[in-house]
Amino acid sequence: MRRTIPLVITFLIGLYPIFAFFVPHGSISGANDWLDSALVIVAAFALPLGTVNVVMTNTTKLKRKSRGWQYSIVLLAGLTVMAFYGLVGGTGVHPSFQWMFVNMVSPLQATMFALLSFYVASAAYRAFRARNVEATILLIAAIIVMMGRIPFGDMMTRGMMTPLSEWIMSIPNAAAQRGIIIGAALGAASMSIRIILGIETTYLGTGKD
Amino acid sequence: MNARKLLYVDRRVIYLLVAIGALVPIIRPIGLPTVPTKPVQQLFNKIESLGPDDTVIISFDYGPSSEPELNPMAQSILRHCFQRRVKVLVMALFPLGGVNMAIDQLQAVADEFDDINYGVDFVNLGYKDGAQAAMKRMDISIESLFPADVNGDPTKDMPIMAHARNYDDIAVVISLATGIIGEYWVNLVNAQFGVPVAVGCTAVSAPKYYAYLRAGQMMSLLGGLKGGSEYEKLLVDKYEFARELYEQPEIKITSAMAGMDVQSIVHVIIIVFIIFGNTMYFIMKRQEKAR
């Protein structure tokens, strides 16, 4: 019974929006609209769930004095202070929350991202080698796209780089991206069908307490 | 010449050159020319065709890590909309700071215009969790999804909401996105509800959007700093106020056009290193063969 009831709920809730999509009658779509609203609320529960998980993982790390436990103190302190001001005044309007975001969170994250340019430069120098035909094609395409993204490219080639770079992005790149997107969509659809039909049950857990 | 030694050059040399390449154009801007491309022009033309009776959604679907690339884009699009008196619904569906980016950017740009009013010409609806679920819900009623704005004030009393009941009233959705939320707007809101969608994204996520752009599911794509600089260029060429604004030092320094100077130099450094590395690689192979 502990497994059957969730499976029945999943089957009905999963099937109903598909049914409502093809039968857009008022009597059907009313319940579907309610399900859409419920989905927003259910999705919101993922946030506290994630927070609980972060707190549990880091408190365990602190208790065990695992490697880098000092960082957990910083993380938990940041989480508590930000959450406090966020809950007291709302994330939008509380000046302390916004001040911390603009002056602490934002520069820290921007710095982390900016460091990428150094690593990318170093990695490109070491990894981009014309070792074989495929690597050479990749190398040439990369240089054209990089030149096409900057004004220098057009200045050096009388405006040829931007159209050439756009062609690479619009034709060979888009073709490859389509394959990836269609593959992922088919995978998601087949997984959804498996879950609705009760074939895939890993989301129910292992059954062990 | 010892090619092997040159091939395995200390990475700190590369870091130093990249740092110099990034710093010099900030201290002494070059002002390289910008040529707008078709995907950027399409969004500009779309907003040019809109007026005070039209409403657009600008969704801040990015966090601080993408700030240097997407903030200039957000500012120039907001300036364009406000200049055209297009009504703007601002929202955030990205959990890691999207709403804070929206507050920051909206405040900065709205202060530049004296004759636009909060709740009448624009509103910040704040953050809503469950991106796809929220997008789906907006087809029924935007107000029911956002009963209160970012300040907690009820939206039902705001005049702008009469122009934004659901997607039928929306002329275009502009998602400034990092991650997957931009794709949700395209493959859900455009595909199911037929709303034109434009995405402004980081350069690293631009390749995946070309598939949607080519398929006609997206009306426009602004890729990274380059996309942002092209939009600024179009704005500056068209409007006198923008020309004056982007001459102000505090705005000029953070603009995408100024950022393109840095990007250009760093790209050239990387390309030179790649060519140098490959030359050394072939010389080393020849030397080893000769031995």
Using CB atoms, which residue from A125, A150, A162 is nearest to B264? A150
Distance CA A149, CA B264 (A): 8
DSSP at B154: B
Contact B55, B168 (CB under 8 A): no
Q: Where do the structural domains in chain B lie, given as residue ranges? A: 3-28+263-290, 38-254
Flag if B273 and A118 touch (Cβ within 8 Å).
no
B256 — contact with chain A (CB < 8 Å)?
A: no
Tell me the sheet residues that pair with B87. Answer: B55
Query: Mean pLDDT, to the nearest integer, of A130-155?
Result: 90
Tell me the sheet residues that pair with B176. Answer: B60, B200
Report which of B131, B81, B128, B129 is spatially closest to residue B106, judged by C-alpha positions. B81
Number of Cβ atoms within 10 Å of the Cβ of A49: 10
Provide the Cα torsion A165, A168, A171, A172; round to 10°.
-170
Going by CATH, does the domain composed of B38-254 fall within 3.40.50? yes
pLDDT of the residue at A176: 95
B220-223, strands of its sheet edge to edge = B122-127, B87-92, B55-61, B170-177, B197-201, B220-223
Number of Cβ pairs closer than 8 Å across A and B? 179
pLDDT of the residue at A182: 95
Question: Among all residues of chain A, which has the CA nearest to that of B213?
Answer: A170
DSSP at B177: E
Which of the pair, A187 or A87, is modelled with greater confidence?
A187
Contact list in A for residue B284 (CB cut-off 8 A) is none
pLDDT of the residue at A164: 93
B151 — contact with chain A (CB < 8 Å)?
A: yes
DSSP at B52: T
Contact list in B for residue A166 (CB cut-off 8 A) is 37-38
Q: What distance in Å separates residue A64's CA from the closest CA in chain B? A: 29
Q: What distance in Å separates residue B112's CA from the closest CA in chain A? A: 20
Flag if B133 and A36 touch (Cβ within 8 Å).
yes
Give strand ranges (E) for B209-285. 220-223
Judged by CB atoms within 8 Å, which residues 83-112 of B form the interface with A? 95, 97, 99-100, 103-104
Flag if A91 and B127 touch (Cβ within 8 Å).
yes
Name the percent of chain A lying above pLDDT 70: 96
Judged by CB atoms within 8 Å, which residues 189-208 of A form the interface with B? none
Flag if B268 and A39 touch (Cβ within 8 Å).
no
Contact list in A for residue B269 (CB cut-off 8 A) is 121
- pLDDT confidence band for A97 (50 / 70 / 90): confident
pLDDT of the residue at B1: 63
Q: What distance in Å separates residue A146's CA from the closest CA in chain B? A: 7
Interface test with A, best of B34, B65, B273 (most A CBs within 10 A): B65
Q: How far is CA B4 from CA A152, B99, B269, B279, in A?
A: 31, 51, 20, 11
- pLDDT confidence band for A207 (50 / 70 / 90): low
Judged by CB atoms within 8 Å, which residues 196-235 of B form the interface with A? 203, 206-208, 210-211, 213-215, 224, 226
Q: What is the DSSP string of A16-47?
A: HHHHHHH---HHHHHHHHHHHHHHHHHHHTHH
Summary mean pLDDT of chain A: 88
B281 — contact with chain A (CB < 8 Å)?
A: yes
B150 — contact with chain A (CB < 8 Å)?
A: yes
Using CB atoms, which residue from B33, B97, B208 is nearest to A101? B97
pLDDT of the residue at B151: 87
Question: Tokens for B270?
Answer: 């990387």
Residue B183: which residues within 8 A CB-CB, separation 6 or more? Answer: B177, B208, B209, B212
Which of the pair, A182 or B254, is modelled with greater confidence?
A182
| Complex confidence, ipTM | 0.82
Contact list in B for residue A146 (CB cut-off 8 A) is 267, 270-271
Question: Tokens for A62?
Answer: 């602190």
Residue A91 predicted with pLDDT over 70: no
Flag if A105 and B269 touch (Cβ within 8 Å).
no
Give strand ranges (E) for chain B. 55-61, 87-92, 122-127, 170-177, 197-201, 220-223
A174 — contact with chain B (CB < 8 Å)?
A: yes
In a structure prediction context, what are the per-residue pLDDT tens digits for chain B, which is 291 residues long?
Answer: 677 777 788 889 999 999 999 999 988 888 888 889 999 999 999 999 999 999 999 999 999 888 889 999 999 999 999 999 999 999 999 988 888 889 989 989 999 999 999 999 999 999 988 888 899 889 989 999 999 999 889 999 999 999 999 999 999 999 999 888 999 999 999 999 999 999 999 999 999 999 999 999 999 999 999 999 999 999 999 999 999 999 998 888 889 999 999 999 999 999 999 999 899 888 888 888 887
B134 — contact with chain A (CB < 8 Å)?
A: yes
B30 — contact with chain A (CB < 8 Å)?
A: no
Contact B73, B176 (CB under 8 A): yes
How open is the CA angle A68-A71-A73, to the nearest 5 degrees? 120
A101 — contact with chain B (CB < 8 Å)?
A: yes
